[in-house]
């Protein structure tokens, strides 16, 4: 008799895919690792496809697994929508949501979430505008947008707006694989202060960097400045300097295929906070609130798996 696919299997699979480790998925789902393994193996048997590549320190999705991952998340998003009575709307709902996002959010955070929302509400239009922080704050003050998504950690007077934290991403030191500090388990700001620094200037990253170093009493040895994150990756990977950036934008390879190492910083360094903003006098309602609740719930679910992954890796 053919076994049935369950939502629990979907949830366990998504947790494993999001965290990159079966052990971390078990932590986030409060079950044994064998339960995660069993669920994944059952899905693989029924699909007649391998969903994960097993690696020494975790797992990565196969091409078939990546396709199934997007379908599985859509299923779980639909279930969660149905369970949230406040946001229960038919998939035929129509309307437009005026949304603004900053550079980092638009490039490295939002596209997947927009795709997941559009699959649930295909007839809802997202009027998306790319804005820097000052323009986004002005649009909120003028009430010309319904929602903004930006870096809350860069907005000093966030009490002027309605806001909700979506993701808190730690910052680590980036350096080339052959850098003198690359073999250390952690580095200090004073050690990094001795190295040439590649300064990212987009999305207030330069101001954030000065805050880190100012707190430590160190002076940056700025070797190069760039408004391109991909250019920074290349400069770091080729050994021109180090940088401090968040895990949200970390990728282990430059466009040229050179390895980039990210190492924890032993000194206190503020994380990067990504969050929702809306005009304080214009409380989200209708479609806008549906979208807001979708983002909050999606980030809460994904964040649990990412946090569990960090805990599991720290134990290893």
Residue 306 confidence class, pLDDT cut points 50, 70, 90? very low
Residue 42 has pLDDT above 80, yes or no: yes
Which whole number is the average pLDDT over 118-125?
86
The Cα–Cα gap between 80 and 89 comes to 12
Give CA separation, 225 vs 5, 56, 117, 159, 206, in Å: 51, 37, 36, 32, 9
- For residue 90, name the pLDDT band (cuts at 50, 70, 90): low
Q: Is the pLDDT of residue 307 over 50?
A: no
The answer, yes or no, to whether residue 310 has pLDDT greater than 60, is no
The DSSP call for residue 221 is -
Q: Are residues 180 and 253 in the same domain?
A: yes
pLDDT at residue 88 tops 70? no
* Residue 129 pLDDT exceeds 90: yes
Round to whole Å and give the CA distance between 236 and 240. Answer: 6
Say yes or no to pLDDT of 164 above 90.
yes
Pairing of strands 95-101, 147-151: parallel
Rounded-to-integer distance, Cα 65 and Cα 280, Å: 42
Quick one: pLDDT band at residue 81, thresholds 50, 70, 90?
low
Give residue 91's pLDDT: 64
**Is 195 within a domain?**
yes
**What mean pLDDT do residues 232-242 have?**
96
At residue 157, does pLDDT exceed 90? Answer: no
Inter-residue contact 120 to 74 (CB < 8 Å): yes
Q: Output the pLDDT for position 313.
A: 40
Same domain, 238 and 164: no
Task: Check whether residue 175 and residue 259 sit in a common domain.
Answer: yes
**Lowest model confidence (mean pLDDT) among 19-28, 98-107, 165-174:** 19-28
How far apart (Å, rounded) are the C-alpha atoms in residues 85 and 138?
Answer: 33
Residue 137, domain extent: 91-168+272-305
Question: Do 133 and 161 fall into the same domain?
Answer: yes
What is the model's pTM?
0.71
**Is residue 236 domain-shared with residue 120, that is, in the same domain?**
no
Which of 52, 83, 114 terminates a domain? The answer is 83
127, 155: one domain: yes
Q: Which residues are CB-neighbours of 304 under 8 A, at least 6 positions away?
A: 15, 28
Q: Is 196 exposed, middle or buried (0-12, 13-18, 19+ CB in 10 A)?
A: middle
In a domain, 313, yes or no: no
Q: What is the CA radius of gyration of the chain?
A: 21
Q: What angle do CA 269, 107, 221 make, to 5 degrees?
A: 40
DSSP states of 204-241: GHHHHHHHHHHHHT----EEEEES-HHHHHHHHHTTS-
Q: Is position 253 within any domain?
A: yes
Q: Is residue 103 part of a domain?
A: yes
140 lies in the same domain as 59: no
Output the domain CATH number for residue 259.
Answer: 3.40.190.10
Tokens of 178: 């052959």
Domain count, the chain: 3
If pLDDT is split at 50, 70 and 90, which confidence band does 1 have? very low
Give the per-residue pLDDT at 29. 86
Query: How far is Cα 248 from Cα 171, in angstroms, rounded to an integer?
Result: 9
Residue 278 three-state SS: strand
Q: What is the pLDDT of residue 304?
A: 45
| Domain-ending residue, one of 40, 60, 83 | 83
In a domain, 315, yes or no: no
Higher pLDDT, 71 or 266: 266
Q: Note whether 127 and 205 are same-domain residues.
A: no
In a domain, 1, yes or no: no
For residue 200, give the nearest of 315, 135, 107 by alpha carbon.
107
Nearest to 26 by CA among 315, 308, 313, 314: 308
**Choice between 172 and 19, residue whose per-residue pLDDT is larger:** 172
**Same domain assignment for residues 28 and 158:** no
Q: Is the pLDDT of residue 242 over 50?
A: yes
* 148 lies in some domain: yes
With a cut of 60, say whether residue 308 has pLDDT above it: no
Q: What pLDDT score does 120 carry?
A: 79
Please say if the pLDDT value at position 203 is more than 60.
yes
Phi/psi of residue 171, nearest 5 degrees: -105, 140
- Tell me, yes or no, whether 59 and 139 share the same domain: no
Instruction: Give pLDDT, residue 105.
Output: 93
Are residue 43 and residue 185 in the same domain, yes or no? Answer: no
* Residue among 167, 198, 172 at smallest CA distance from 186: 172
CA distance 268 to 138: 32
Q: Determine what percent of the chain is predicted with pLDDT higher than 90.
A: 45
CATH code, 65:
1.10.10.10
191 and 243 part of one domain: yes
pLDDT digits (tens, 9 = 90+) for 101-111: 999 999 999 99
**Any domain includes 312:** no
């Amino acid at each position: 008799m053919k076994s049935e696919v369950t939502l629990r299997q979907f949830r366990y699979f998504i947790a494993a895919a999001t965290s990159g480790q079966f052990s971390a998925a078990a932590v986030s789902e409060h079950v044994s690792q064998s339960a995660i393994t069993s669920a994944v193996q059952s899905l693989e048997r029924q699909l007649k496809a391998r969903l994960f590549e097993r690696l020494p320190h975790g797992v990565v999705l196969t091409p078939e697994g990546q396709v199934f991952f997007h379908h599985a998340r859509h299923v779980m998003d639909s279930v969660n929508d149905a369970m949230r009575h406040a946001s229960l709307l038919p998939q035929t709902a129509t309307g437009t949501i005026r949304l603004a996002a900053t550079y980092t959010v638009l490039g490295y955070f939002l596209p997947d979430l927009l795709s997941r929302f559009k699959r649930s509400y295909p007839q809802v239009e997202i009027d998306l505008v790319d804005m820097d922080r000052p323009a986004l704050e002005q649009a909120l003050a003028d009430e010309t947008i319904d929602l903004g998504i930006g870096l809350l950690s860069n907005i000093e007077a966030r009490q002027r707006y309605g806001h909700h934290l979506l993701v808190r991403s730690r910052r680590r030191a980036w350096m080339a694989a052959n850098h003198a500090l690359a073999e250390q388990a952690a580095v200090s700001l004073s050690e990094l202060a001795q190295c040439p620094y590649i300064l990212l200037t987009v999305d207030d990253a330069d101001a954030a960097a000065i805050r880190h170093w100012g707190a430590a009493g160190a002076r940056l040895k700025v070797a190069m400045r760039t408004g391109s994150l991909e250019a920074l990756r290349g400069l770091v990977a080729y050994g021109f300097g180090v940088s401090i950036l968040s895990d949200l934008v970390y990728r282990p390879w430059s466009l040229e295929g050179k390895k980039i190492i990210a190492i924890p910083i032993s000194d206190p360094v503020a994380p990067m906070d990504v969050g929702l903003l809306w005009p304080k006098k214009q409380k989200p309602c209708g479609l806008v609130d549906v979208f807001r609740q979708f983002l909050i719930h999606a980030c809460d679910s994904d964040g649990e798996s990412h946090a569990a992954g960090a805990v599991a890796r720290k134990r290893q």
